[in-house]
């Protein structure tokens, strides 16, 4: 059985690498390498954004979370789904227009351009924030790949992680953003097939065995069959907040997702993309939730050393080899699609935000692309070290990174978009308080009480608002409001 699955795994990997090689043959400037030159169709960007946003976390982490918690795990899906819908309906077009107006390619670059008199410190702080947390996020993807290959082929976790990293580095190195988006599109479809087909198959098996999901939930524990996890009063509020809090990271602060919004060509493409992304989200999260519940029903009474391997276990158990190979490739697809996008975010932070803008190095387009590719290799190897040394679960590592990056930068983006009194000092206060707040919160028992995904957002927003009121925008400060022309240097006075 594993031979057929292995062959399909290998074919899938060769397909991805072939796509990367195809795009590597095209001459690319720095803008094309990092953002595709605004030439990609909206539907492809939507598939890419969803594949990037939903990684090993969704297929391994969330399905295992539902398996372990029962019905109350639905609030995670609700929070995330609402966040995705909100970002596509209310933020995507704005990102597209702002990127075009200010001629920027990255989220830190946009904030720096909008608040020009504080551009350098905003660039440094936001890129340090992104690189710090994104490296752990990336490491979680490589760890997830190692888990998948171990569960399927009993390949040593370290060997599996190294093999997966090699694919991610080659794909990102060869074709840049364009190759990542088109391969993401394929991978996004594979993920969706896995999340839709597997629960349907599982329901057939449950029906054939005359099993009951509700009975299995009741037997699994006193809180498993409760939509509120058996919590009441204040405890119920905390449960809902902690699970729903994923919503706050989707409000523009995830650079690997906002890059897809920036790459949109026009409003027509943006509308098409939003429909695709929202439909994908409903199907994928509904499927992942059902996978957790059906696994709990089919394998009630069985113990698993790691609940985050429940999905590959189900696939191998319920499906014939040739179908299993395709669906298992969907897990690897989820990992690769997120990991290569995260590598590009780290790369853009180094080559565009630090080297090109913060340091102001005058380099040719070819030199900038070379720096980007060298960064991909270096960051990839560092991510591997994190993956092999971290003992945290995929779910927890991603949760912390989501708070540190998304829930810190989301209030910065929301306030920039919708509050005219937001100032450069306010941006700095937002980033600094979010970064420090997350580190302190996840290092103490406070994280067990209420998630940093919730507290970070409101801490960062609070300090951003307070410091904007204390240090308001001045006409002579050089801060940009609605300027369409010129580079960053023309917006900075003194």
Predicted confidence (pLDDT) at residue 178 exceeds the cutoff of 90: no
Predicted confidence (pLDDT) at residue 101 exceeds the cutoff of 70: yes
Task: Give me the pLDDT at residue 478, please.
Answer: 52
What is the mean pLDDT of the segment spanning 335-349?
76
Predicted confidence (pLDDT) at residue 249 exceeds the cutoff of 70: yes
Mean pLDDT score of the chain: 81
- DSSP H stretches of helix in 390-420: 394-401, 407-418
Token pair recorded at residue 271: 């509308």
Task: Give me the pLDDT at residue 317, please.
Answer: 87
Task: Give me the pLDDT at residue 466, please.
Answer: 96
Neighbouring C-alpha atoms within 13 Å toward the C-beta of 14: 6
One DSSP character per residue, 83-102 reads HHHHIIIIIHHHHHHHHHHH
Tokens 């912390």 map to which residue? 400
Using alpha carbons, select from 264, 256, 263, 184 the residue that is nearest to residue 405: 256
Task: Give me the pLDDT at residue 87, please.
Answer: 93
What is the mean pLDDT of the segment spanning 21-49?
74
Residue 181 pLDDT level (bands cut at 50, 70, 90): confident
Residue 35 pLDDT level (bands cut at 50, 70, 90): low
What is the mean pLDDT of the segment spanning 98-103?
88
Range name among 206-215, 287-296, 382-391, 404-413 with the lowest pLDDT average: 382-391
Q: Per residue in 387-401, pLDDT tens?
A: 777 655 555 666 677
Task: Give me the pLDDT at residue 253, please.
Answer: 86
Those residues whose C-beta lies under 8 Å from the C-beta of residue 253, and which sit 6 or more positions away, are: 107, 405, 406, 407, 408, 409, 410, 411, 412, 413
Using alpha carbons, select from 422, 464, 367, 431 the residue that is nearest to residue 108: 431
Range name among 15-24, 88-97, 374-383, 429-438 with the lowest pLDDT average: 15-24
What is the mean pLDDT of the segment spanning 42-59?
84
pTM exceeds 0.85 for this model: no
What is the mean pLDDT of the segment spanning 59-82?
87
What is the mean pLDDT of the segment spanning 412-420?
93
Q: Per residue in 161-176, pLDDT tens?
A: 888 888 888 777 766 7
Q: Per residue in 463-478, pLDDT tens?
A: 999 999 999 877 545 5
Residue 268 pLDDT level (bands cut at 50, 70, 90): very high
Predicted confidence (pLDDT) at residue 484 exceeds the cutoff of 50: no
Task: Give me the pLDDT at residue 163, please.
Answer: 83
Architecture of domain 2-395 in this structure: Up-down Bundle (1.20)
Predicted confidence (pLDDT) at residue 190 exceeds the cutoff of 80: yes
Range name among 181-195, 395-409, 476-490 with the lowest pLDDT average: 476-490
- 352 compared with 493, residue with greater pLDDT: 352
Token pair recorded at residue 149: 């290959």
What is the mean pLDDT of the segment spanning 259-271?
90
- For helices 2-24 and 157-208, what crossing angle results, to 10°? 120
CB 241 within 8 A of CB 451: yes
- 265 compared with 393, residue with greater pLDDT: 265
- Report the chain's C-alpha Rg in angstroms: 22
Predicted confidence (pLDDT) at residue 341 exceeds the cutoff of 80: no
Tokens 């699970």 map to which residue? 243
Within its chain, how far is the Cα of 84 from the centroid? 11
The percentage of residues in the chain with a pLDDT greater than 90, rounded to a whole number, is: 23
CB 246 within 8 A of CB 79: yes
Within its chain, how far is the Cα of 181 from the centroid? 14
């Amino acid at each position: 059985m594993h031979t057929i699955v292995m062959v399909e795994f290998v074919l899938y990997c060769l397909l991805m690498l072939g796509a990367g090689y195809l795009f590597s043959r095209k001459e690319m400037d720095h803008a094309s390498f990092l953002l595709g030159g605004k030439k990609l169709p909206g539907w492809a960007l939507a598939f890419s954004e969803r594949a990037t946003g939903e990684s090993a976390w969704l297929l391994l982490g969330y399905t295992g979370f539902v398996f372990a918690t029962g019905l109350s795990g639905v609030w995670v899906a609700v929070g995330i789904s609402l966040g995705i819908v909100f970002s596509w309906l209310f933020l995507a077009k704005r990102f597209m227009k702002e990127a075009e107006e200010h001629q920027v390619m990255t989220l830190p670059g946009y904030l720096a351009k909008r608040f020009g008199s504080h551009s350098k410190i905003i660039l440094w702080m936001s890129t340090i924030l992104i690189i710090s947390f994104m490296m752990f996020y990336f490491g979680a993807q490589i760890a997830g790949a190692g888990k998948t290959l171990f569960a399927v082929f009993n390949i040593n976790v370290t060997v599996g992680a190294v093999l997966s990293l090699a694919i991610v580095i080659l794909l990102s190195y060869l074709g840049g953003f364009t190759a990542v988006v088109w391969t993401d599109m394929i991978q996004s479809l594979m993920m969706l097939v896995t999340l839709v087909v597997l629960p349907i198959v599982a329901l057939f098996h449950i029906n054939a065995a005359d099993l009951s999901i509700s009975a299995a939930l009741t037997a699994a524990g006193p809180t498993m069959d409760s939509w509120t996890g058996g919590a009441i009063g204040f405890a119920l509020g905390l449960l809902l907040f902690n699970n729903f809090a994923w919503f706050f990271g989707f409000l523009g602060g995830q650079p690997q997702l906002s890059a897809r919004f920036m790459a949109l060509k026009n409003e027509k493409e943006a509308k098409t993309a939003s429909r695709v992304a929202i439909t994908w989200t409903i199907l994928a999260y509904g499927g992942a939730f059902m996978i957790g519940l059906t696994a709990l029903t089919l394998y009630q009474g069985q113990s698993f050393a790691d609940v985050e391997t429940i999905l590959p276990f189900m696939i191998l158990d319920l499906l014939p080899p040739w179908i299993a190979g395709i669906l298992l490739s969907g897990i690897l697809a989820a990992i690769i699609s997120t990991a290569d996008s995260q590598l590009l975010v780290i790369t853009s932070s180094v080559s565009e935000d630090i080297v090109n803008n913060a340091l102001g190095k005058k380099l040719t387009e070819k030199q900038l692309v070379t720096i980007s590719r060298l960064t991909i290799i270096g960051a990839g190897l560092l991510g591997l070290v994190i993956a092999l040394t971290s003992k945290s679960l995929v779910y927890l590592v991603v949760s912390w990174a989501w708070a540190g990056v998304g829930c810190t930068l989301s209030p910065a983006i929301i306030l920039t978009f919708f509050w005219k009194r937001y100032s450069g000092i306010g941006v700095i206060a937002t980033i600094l308080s979010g970064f420090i707040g997350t580190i302190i919160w996840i290092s103490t028992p406070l994280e067990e009480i209420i998630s940093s995904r919730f507290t970070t957002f409101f801490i960062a927003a609070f300090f951003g608002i307070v410091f904007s009121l204390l240090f308001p925008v001045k006409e002579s400060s050089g801060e940009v409001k609605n300027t369409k022309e010129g580079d960053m240097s023309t917006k900075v006075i003194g």
